[in-house]
Structures are given as C-alpha cells and as structure tokens.
C-alpha cells in the first residue's frame, strides 16, 4: 500500500491498500478474534513482536519488532502520525533503543515515520525502493541499500533482507528471521480486511513502484523456497506457510484468467465484467488489473 508525499484522499489510500479476504472454501485463515481488530503489540515468538496494521489510511502496515540484547530492529514504520505509538509500544516490551528500521518497500504506510527515526536509527531498504522514494519525494529514504541480500547482526540475532523479484513494486524486500523461521513479506502477501471491515485486494504499483503482476507469482515461489513456518503479511493477521501458498495460487489464478481473457479476444473495457475474482475472495477487480492486462498483452505479442 502506498502514500504519496502529497496529501491523498483516504479513498485513494484505501484502494492502494493490499489485503486479501478469500472465500471460506478456498481459505483456511481467519481474522483475529474480535472486532474491531486490535492494534496492541503482540508477542509472536521469543524476541519477536508485531504491531498490527490493516490498512494504509488508519493503521498502516504490520510492524515486526525484533528485540535483542543490543537494541531493537523494526520492520516498517507505518504512517507519520503513528511514530509515537510505535515507539511507546516498543518501549512496553523492551528498554533497548530502536537501532534499525528495515523497510519492505517505499509506500508511505510502510515508511511514513522514517523521517522521525532517521536521527537515531539506520534505515535500510532495497536500492529500487530508495530510488522510488526519491522520485516521489517521500520523506526518510534509507541511508543503506542493497541489491540482492543483506544481513543485520545485532545482539543474538541475524535479520536478513532479500529481494526476490518484482511484484507489488520493483523494490520489495522480504525480511527473514532465520532462527525463528519467520518472514515479513511486506505487501507481497496481504490478507484479510481493512480495519473498517471491507475486503482488500492485491495492488500492483505499475506507476511509482514499477510493480509486476506477471512476475509476482515467481517472486512468491522464491519466498516459499525459504525455510519458514510463520509469515507476517504487509497487512492483516499472522499467516501460516500454507496460507502464503494459498495467496500464491490465487495470484496465479488471476494471471491465468486475465491471460485467457486476452487470448479469447477480450478487451480492457470488458475486463472487470468478464474476469471474475469473487471466488478468490476479491469481489471487485484489483487496482492495477488494467495494468496486468497491458503487461500480459505485451508478453503475448
């Protein structure tokens, strides 16, 4: 999900959000017990906590909090107005300072508090994510970038950042906690509902993020090659490995349906009417489906 440096209407921010609610017969996962959904910091595994996020406009993305004996590593920084909330929640589980902020991509619901963290923490991201932030004039681009893989060693922990290919953007990072067999996928995997209860769909940022719906499935296949049993999505509840696989299969189904529509002579104008995604849990066409049509059309030539 993304937020530009210029003020955008909430409806745009919500459309750009990326969370998936699948039909019961396809999907085994559920929302956290009780609604409205909690944003309280929650222990996931020893030394690993999550500050939940369900959308771009109100709660931002999920923030992972890795506690070590020498400081804190967090993944993503939500929206600007939630900086104090992040800091307070981290302090509630550890007195250690936040030393590193790892960004999964450039969108403002994941990097919005970067500028506030920069004076006292190092910010790391993929090289393309930094370039995208600078192109969009977003505040707080990372000082440290990487191309394929990098690790942060702090205290008793190693945290890896891996760029496995395009999908949501061209600068997506998967953050891997190898000792805990846990990943943070950013918006390469999203799940559930917005905090106000509406279903969200995958977002392919074909403009500012140079994303790819066609390549997204291959990137998910590389994620599934990692040794993990628990996944923190960009938005929504904690997932199992199997649920990540289910999300991958839905993305493949969406690609297959749009490709079949193109092969059958369908046009962009009748795309939403003829390509149905309701059974995938996406009751309306995802933002960027027109872009997927263009991408797959070009590949078929």
- Given a cut of 70, whether residue 218 has pLDDT beyond it is yes
Average pLDDT of the chain to the nearest whole number: 88
> Residue 110: inside a domain, yes or no?
yes
CA dist 220 and 245 (Å) reads: 8
**188 lies in a domain?**
yes
- The stretch 182-207 carries a mean pLDDT of 90
Among 7-21, 111-125, 132-146, the least confident range: 7-21
Domain encompassing residue 133: 10-241
- Model pLDDT for residues 195-211, shown as the tens digit of each residue: 888 777 899 999 998 99
pLDDT at 281: 86
Confidence bin at 27 (pLDDT 50/70/90): very low
Give the Å distances, CA to CA, from 226 to 78, 240, 264: 26, 13, 37
Task: Tell me, yes or no, whether 76 lies in a domain.
Answer: yes
Residue 28 confidence (pLDDT) above 70: no
What pLDDT, in 10s, does the model give residues 228-263? 999 999 999 999 999 999 999 999 999 999 999 999
Question: Which tokens is 65 given?
Answer: 């909090």
- The distance from CA 187 to its chain's CA centroid, rounded to whole angstroms, is 2
Pick 1 or 239 by higher pLDDT: 239
Predicted local distance difference test score (pLDDT) of residue 194? 80
Residue 22 has pLDDT above 70, yes or no: no
**pLDDT given at position 36:** 52
pLDDT greater than 80 at residue 136 = yes
Question: Which tops the pLDDT comparison, 218 or 285?
Answer: 218
In this prediction, residues 123-152 reach a mean pLDDT of 97
β-pairing verdict for 239-240 and 144-146: unpaired
pLDDT of residue 198: 76
Residue the block writes with tokens 């929302």 = 31
Q: Per-residue confidence at 278, pLDDT binned at 50, 70, 90?
A: confident
Domain for residue 71, yes or no?
A: yes
Residue 167's pLDDT is 98
Does the pLDDT at position 272 exceed 90?
Answer: no
The lowest-confidence range among 29-38, 169-178, 274-283 is 29-38
In a domain, 1, yes or no: no
- The structure's pTM equals 0.87
Do the domain assignments include residue 281?
no
pLDDT at 188: 98
On whether the CB atoms of residues 103 and 73 are closer than 8 A, the answer is no
Q: How far is CA 114 from the centre of its chain?
A: 16
| CATH for 186 | 3.60.15.10
User: What contacts 24+ positions apart, CB below 8 Å, involve 91-94?
Assistant: 92/41, 93/41, 93/43, 93/49, 93/65, 93/67, 94/67
Number of domains in the chain: 1
């Amino acid at each position: 999900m993304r937020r530009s440096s210029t003020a955008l209407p909430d409806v745009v921010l919500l459309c750009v959000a990326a969370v998936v609610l699948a039909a019961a017969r396809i999907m085994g996962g559920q929302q956290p017990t009780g609604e409205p959904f909690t944003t309280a910091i929650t222990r996931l595994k020893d030394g690993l906590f999550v500050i939940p996020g369900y959308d771009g406009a109100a709660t931002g993305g999920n923030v992972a909090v890795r506690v070590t004996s020498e400081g804190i590593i967090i993944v993503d920084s939500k929206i600007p107005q939630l900086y104090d909330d992040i800091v307070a929640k981290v302090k509630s589980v550890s007195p250690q300072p936040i030393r590193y902020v790892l960004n999964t991509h450039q969108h403002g619901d994941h990097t919005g508090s970067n500028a506030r963290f920069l004076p006292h923490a190092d910010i790391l991201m993929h090289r393309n994510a930094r370039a995208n932030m600078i192109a969009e004039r977003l505040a707080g681009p990372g000082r440290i970038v990487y191309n394929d893989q990098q690790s942060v060693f702090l205290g008793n922990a190693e945290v890896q950042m891996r760029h496995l290919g395009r999908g949501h953007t061209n600068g997506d990072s998967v953050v891997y906690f190898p000792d805990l067999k846990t990943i943070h996928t950013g918006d390469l995997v999203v799940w559930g509902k917005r905090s106000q209860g509406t279903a969200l769909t995958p977002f392919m940022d074909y403009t500012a993020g140079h994303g790819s719906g066609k390549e997204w499935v291959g990137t998910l296949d590389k994620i599934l090659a990692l040794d993990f049993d628990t996944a923190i999505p960009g938005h929504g509840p904690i997932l199992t490995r199997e649920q990540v696989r289910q999300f991958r299969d839905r993305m493949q189904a969406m690609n297959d349906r749009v490709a079949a529509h193109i092969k059958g002579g369908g046009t962009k104008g009748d795309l939403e009417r003829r390509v149905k995604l309701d059974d995938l849990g996406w009751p309306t066409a995802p933002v960027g489906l027109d872009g997927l049509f263009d991408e797959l059309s070009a590949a078929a030539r």
